[in-house]
Structure formats: C-alpha cells, structure tokens
Chains A and B, each alone.
Chain A
Amino acid sequence: MSAVATAGRTAEGRSWAAAWYGLLVGGMVVGLACFVYQWINGLAVTGLSNTISWGMYIITFMFLVGISAGGLIVAAGAELVGSERFASLQRLAVLLSGTAILAAAISILPDLGRPQMVWRMLRQPHWTSPLIWDVIIIGVYLTIALIDLYILTRPNPKPGALRTMAFFALPAAVLVHSITAWIFGLLVARPFWNTALMAPMFVSSALVSGLGLLIVTAHIVDRTTEWEPDRDVFDDLGRLMVWFIAVDGFLLFAEILTTYASRVPDHLKQLNVLLIGRLAPVFWAEVAIGVVVPFAICASRLRERRGWVVAAGALAMLGVFAKRINIVMTSMFMPLVGLAPGIPGGRAGQEFAPDPIYIPTWVEAGILLGLACFIGLFVTLGVRYLVVPERRSTG
C-alpha cells in the first residue's frame, strides 16, 4: 500500500503506485491461471487425497471468515456502547471486514470439485447442511458490510444510521463465525471437532485475528497515506487485544484440558497428534506466537509503543492461522476406522494411504497468492477512494 500515499502527486509516487498495482494484478492473473488449470485437470493437481480431503483452501476459508470479524465488531461494538474511541477507524474497519468476507466466499470455489455446479446450492438447498446456513449468513454479513460502508462514505452521514445497523451487524458477526464453526463442530465422525466449544472458539479466534488485521493495516495505511487515525487508537486496540487473546487462550486451554482429562481413546489419539505428534511444531507455534507473545506485549507497558502493538497484531494473526491448520489437519490425519491398509488415496499409484501426508502443491499456492492479491487490490482501492478522501477534502 506504500504507493497510495503519494500517488498522483509526484513522479516517484506514481511509479511506486504503478509497481504496486502491477504486482497485485500480476498475482491475480497467476491465481486465476492456476484456478483454470485446476478446473481442467481436477483437484488431482493439489496435495489432497481421500484421507486428507480438506486442506489449504478450507483452512484459508476459515481464516478469512475469521479476520472479517475485527472490522465490523470494532465498528459496530463501539457504536453500540456509544464510544467515540474508534470513530477514526470505522471506515477502514468496515472495508477490511467486507473484503475479507468476500474473499472467504471466493476461497471456497477452488475447493469444489465441480465449481460449475455451485448454483445448485441455491436451486436445491438442503437445509440440514451447515454449508447452506453458511452461504446465507456470509451473504447477509457481506450485505451489512456494504451498507455500513455506504453509510460511512456519505458526505453527511445520518446520525444513528450506523447504530441501527449495529443491531444487525453484531448478531450477524457472531453467527457467521459460529456457523462456520458448526460446519466442523456438528460432525459426529470427527471427535476432535465435535465439541460445543467449537463455535465460541471460532468467535474468539476471529476477534483476535480480525483485530490483528485491523492493527496492522491501520499502521500501514497511516504510514503510507494522508489518512490519520486518532493518536491513542493503537494503545486502545492493544488494550482490546489483551482481552480477546485472554478469552481465546482460555477457551483453547479448557478444550484441551477436558479432552486430556476425559481420556476417551479417539479424542486422546487426536490430541496426542497435536501435543506431541506430527502437528506439535505447529501447535506450540500457535500457542507461542498466537497467545503468549502477543498477550505479553499487549498486557505490558510495551503496548505504549506502537511498533510493539503492530508486531503483536501480526503475530496474533499468524497464530490464528496456525490454529486453523491444526483444527483441520488433526482430524484429517486420524480417520475413525484406522485399520490397515487405511483409506484409498484416490489416484493411480496411491492405492492406500495408511499414513497420509499432505503437502500443498504450487497450484494451491498460486491460487492462494491470487486471492491474497485480490484482497490487497480491493483494500488498496478502498483505502484510496473510500477511506482517505474524507481527510483530503477537508484538508
């Protein structure tokens, strides 16, 4: 976003802007090409198999739904309690929420084996499927974000309009994370997912990662454009982060303690994969960079220095991404009926996969790169045309 600042003012700024937009559009072209390649050849070009049948696409989907939380909740929550503290952040926050949820909806397409058939979810929705509930709530959430953005960018915003929206935005935000959690949490076949804490954990992780995204983006936009948030806002966001991480860490601990103490064999087997098994590095990274370090930063006096708060926000986001990986992979590694020779791999030469591994391929990386660039482009344009102009016109 470094270009937005001086874009259109100096020659140097213009060339930076051109490079930045070129990078983003280039990345999107690569992503689109990978998607078409995958569409033609099937999901055989991914690292997925019949055992580990969900991978990076679903993990990214969960993550993007999560980071969409921060914006709307900060904007709407502040509105409901009548706080002026985050007023300067509102436009950016809502822009981030809207972009993230739009990207989440798009990220599900490459996961489908037959994307051309996705319209059948609308023609013949099967109401017992949490996937249908998720499609609906994502649509509602995106609509709310767009309406909020419209209200916030009017020359003379109607007082109270945003507050009225907040009564819809907050329940919708809680629901969008809960329903995404229930996609996993309602499955009897996956003991590790099948916990009532799934929805609360999704909400809390969403708050942590969403707030992290808001902090990091606000910092970058502040540094590269004329847009200026209130002076104390980073300190306030850091304060909020302490609480979000505390709740998220508490829920994680409660879940793991319950699983560990109850000694149910299926559950314990999966927990061991996480604590001491194959996923242990990712899990302990999740705990360290997602909980301990950002909590320590935000709870201590380091919070007074903006650089530390930004670092904490970035780490918290990474930690939540690691958490998404762990949630999906722990269950996928451990089929319930685990007798030899295991589940058929799915392709010639992969008759059985008794000890399945999953390594994402360049196609998956390319598609996700494209998605990241899409988000970057959307946010850049949004910042340039919706977030910054207010100051420019008055200044």
Chain B
Amino acid sequence: MPEPTKVSPVEALPEASREYGAIGEVSDDPRWGMAVDTERCIGCWSCAVICKSENDVPLGMWWNRILTRGEELDTPETGEFGRLDMSWVPLACQHCDDPPCMKVCPTSATFVDTEHGYLVEVNQDDCIGCRYCMAACPYGVRVFNWGEPEYPVEGFDLGMVEPRPIGSVEKCTMCIHRLEEEQVPSCVWSCPAQARIFGDLNDPDGRLVRTIEDRGATQLLEEKGTKPKVYYLEERRRRSL
C-alpha cells in the first residue's frame, strides 16, 4: 500500500478559514503573547483536543488542558452566599519572559527563541531527559516521553510537528509551525467561544495589549516573578447555576 500523502492542515484550509486564522498586523519585533478570557471560556476542551492532534501529542500527555476551579473536574464550587459557581483555567506553557525551566536546563535545550517572538522552545536534540525543567516549572505544563508514544489509532498523526524522541521533555510551542505561516495557534483558532486572543505584546495599539490594559488582566502565579506572556482576563460578572 502506498504511503498516504500528508497534507498540511493549514494549506488544506479554505481561504475563509485562513483569513479567520491570520495573525494580522504586528510590530517590527513581535513578542508573541496570549490572553485567555475566563469570562468567555465554557470549559469545552476544544482547544486541548485540537492541540493534541495539531502537535501529535501521544496518549497520556497534554500540552494544553482545562483546569476547573473548585473541588473536582466538572464539580461546581460553592461561591459567595452559597451560590454554585463554575469557572475554568485553560493552562498551557506560559512562555515566560524569565522562564525558570530555561535557567535550569543544563544543555540549553530549552531556550528563549529571540528569532520567533521570544517564545520558550525546546530543542529535543539537546535534551538529555533530566527533567530538571519539569521540577522548575511552577505551572506543571511540561510532559515527558516516558516510553514509546502511543496513539488512539495507528498512524493517527498529522506530521505537522516533528515526533519527539523517547526520553525527552516536550510542551506547548505556541504552534510555532503555524506562526511561521502567519496563522494563530490552533487553540486560538479553534475556540468556539473566542476566549483566546493571540497577538504581539510589543504592539501597544494591537488588540491583545489593549484588551489586557482595558480588562486589567492578571498573570498566573505572578508573584513567582516568571513574567508569563499568557494573560488571564478575569470574569466581570459571576456565572451562577
């Protein structure tokens, strides 16, 4: 049987979709960032699932996941005056400007990619698999290739992203392969609630920076001094059941 030809999903997209996913105007020296609107997030996990297929993330691993505030997954927490509240924290690599994982990497396999919008990237060729970065990351967003990667269906990979070797650490790349095609990361593109805003933190007039300023966005574990490039827009009103 001939090898099935792989088509880049970005190339395969209809023109309208490409337009929808276009990054648009950016500054001369873009510093990629994201804002996640927790008011809009409905906790549907679409972004987490598309991330897995976009990046061929094996079973048992997630680069992007949706945390539920409260006791357990899908269990509302008791809010003010005994009201039941439910909200979510979509969590992936925060692409810190001062990344603790990068500082402790003994081989510089994890580095700040100054050529690609100052994202925190991993060069798996240099990774020795010591997992020091996993101990150093306050967000717990790094995953390790413990064994041979397993997929729900054999050959179920898009091949957009190089497979990572066994024994190396991986994490969200902010879909750097899409950024090169001037497309937003797939979690941003796929969110049915449009809860994610991607953009250039160095562009003061861009939608991302304006939204962060208007809404008084916060960063996760800001007190740790990691300077994340992912911002969270807090809910302006409580959703009650």
Contact = CB atoms under 8 A, between A and B. Distances in A.
Nearest to B110: A126
Nearest to A46: B146
A17 interface: no
Interface residues of A, number: 57
A187 B136 contact: yes
B135 A53 contact: yes
A346 interface: yes
Given A113-B127, A340-B73, A43 B100 contact: no
A232 interface: no
Given A114-B127, A120-B126, A339-B68, A346 B146 contact: yes
Interface stretch (A62-70, A127-135, A207-215): A127-135
B128 A120 contact: yes
Interface in A36-57: 41-46, 48-51, 53-54
Contacts, number: 177
Nearest to B226: A188
B150 A339 contact: no
B60 A337 contact: no
Given A44-B147, A50-B144, A188-B226, A336 B139 contact: yes
A189 B168 CA distance: 21
Nearest to B129: A113
Query: Among the interface residues A128, A130, A348, A354, which one has the most CB atoms of the partner chain B within 10 A?
Result: A348
B106 interface: yes
Query: Among the interface residues B128, B147, B148, which one has the most CB atoms of the partner chain A within 10 A?
Result: B128
Interface in B74-114: 75, 89, 91, 100, 103-108
Interface string A112-123: 111101101101
A125 interface: yes
Interface string A348-359: 111110100000
A301 B163 CA distance: 65
A131 B59 contact: no
B165 interface: yes
Interface in A265-294: none
B70 interface: yes
Contacts of A347: 59-60, 146-147, 150
Contacts of B132: 129, 131, 183
A117 B68 contact: no
A343 interface: yes
A341 interface: yes
B69 interface: yes
Interface in A171-202: 183-184, 186-190
B165 to A, nearest CB: 7
B144 A113 contact: yes
B107 A124 contact: yes
A336 B68 contact: no
B220 interface: yes
Query: Among the interface residues B65, B135, B145, B168, which one has the most CB atoms of the partner chain A within 10 A?
Result: B135
Contact of A114 (B62, B168, B220): B168
A124 B107 CA distance: 6
A181 to B, nearest CB: 14
A111 B130 contact: yes
B59 to A, nearest CB: 4
B193 interface: no
Interface in A140-179: none
Given A114-B129, A121-B128, A337 B140 contact: yes
Contacts of B225: 188
A13 interface: no
Contacts of B72: 340-341, 354
20 contacts: A42-B146, A43-B147, A45-B147, A53-B134, A112-B130, A113-B145, A117-B126, A121-B106, A131-B132, A135-B106, A184-B135, A187-B100, A189-B138, A335-B140, A336-B138, A336-B140, A341-B72, A345-B60, A347-B59, A354-B72
Interface of A: 41-46, 48-51, 53-54, 108, 111-115, 117-118, 120-121, 123-126, 128-132, 135, 183-184, 186-190, 331, 335-337, 339-341, 343-352, 354
Interface of B: 58-62, 65, 67-73, 75, 89, 91, 100, 103-108, 126-132, 134-140, 142-148, 150, 165-169, 220-221, 224-226
